[in-house]
Structure 1
């Protein structure tokens, strides 16, 4: 994962498991490194609501208003919240207050998004819905603002939506899958990746079949691809610099009737002597 981050490769985890299991897996393999994900902050907020009681007159996602109500509580109750959060987070009360952990925190402040596909909050409609119901603005806001993303309770249609919306934002998408339900998403991706254990239908839909069957094979694939691309750029630049001056001299002789600065024998000699070793390198 460190190599992926160094190479500006973004990894998004999609899993049919619940959000807690998906987050645990993402932390284990290094996809999520953020200390407080939006899921952690939502759990944090729920604990504070349970400590002070929820006012039905306040919208669930109106954190500024909830914090104003919290600050208006008697000092004893505010101290109770701070001490309770200190016990929960095993952190000194002074640090809890300094970091603002005795108040509600907007989950949008986190750079890691843990999305439950069948229960997504839409800021525009102020309602929960399925990932299929989210508009392009919601997708763009998440992908632009959340470098680390885990999508739980993910179905095949959700993987297609992830792929399509990333492509719409000019990302090059490589998608992995092994099950028959992944075949369509593999075709939609720029690079579909599967393993030899996948069915024939899935292998035919994929662009790459990893013989090793490990994520490290994808990293090596990207490294080799970028190495070939860089070598092609260097070769093109070298050939342009070495051959264009010769071509300009010949064109000047043909079009402007200027004396030929170099004949065919000298061109061959220059190419053999000066170009052979750099070309091999």
Structure 2
């Protein structure tokens, strides 16, 4: 089968006993960087030398079927450089191909920069959304942030230490300067640090320079007090402007707290609704 294995994100002591056992026995390892994997084997004292197959962003599409075929006859351990494969790292294409081919997939849990930063942030953890890397260019980044401005869940982003100050400035301008954030850097390492405060405050601190791996946790949008009737009216207004009913219900639900299904059904029952091909019902 395919075995997804989480590797340390900084502290080597976070390598699980199951990871060490697997590295010492599996015949094949598909690795994001084979040199990093060789260093990991040496650091963990693993003398077994499996066959190493490079699997990275540039070759995963071509290599996925090959790795799946290898997994029909023997276990294939799939590693990224740090953390869990498939989470902003290679692996998703292999997993999808394995499932389609009827090849088993399992995982060896372990370190996660996303969950570690979220837990340390001091922000709500009951509901959150992982948004991956923010765009490099400010215009594209602001477009993404505007799309997330009404997101009520805590958001987790990856970012570059050289860009995070600019990203925080954009967050302060799009979400508002008082939106709370936590900037976590060098998680599990000697110089681990978490900067907490408003987007404007942490942006100011980040301008002095940030080093190391960065994870940014951002507070969700505050709930808006809006009646169900007013929310339905917003849906109807969007439909009247040419937006499909399904899309309007999803959009209004995101910033009002009312469910998209209730909004959809109420707007659908409206005698003055506009035809928009919405009779198929919400997905």
Report the TM-score, using the length of structure 1 for normalisation. Answer: 0.24
User: Normalized per residue, which structure has more helix?
Assistant: 1
Whichever of the two has the greater Rg, that structure is: 1
User: Normalized per residue, which structure has more strand?
Assistant: 2
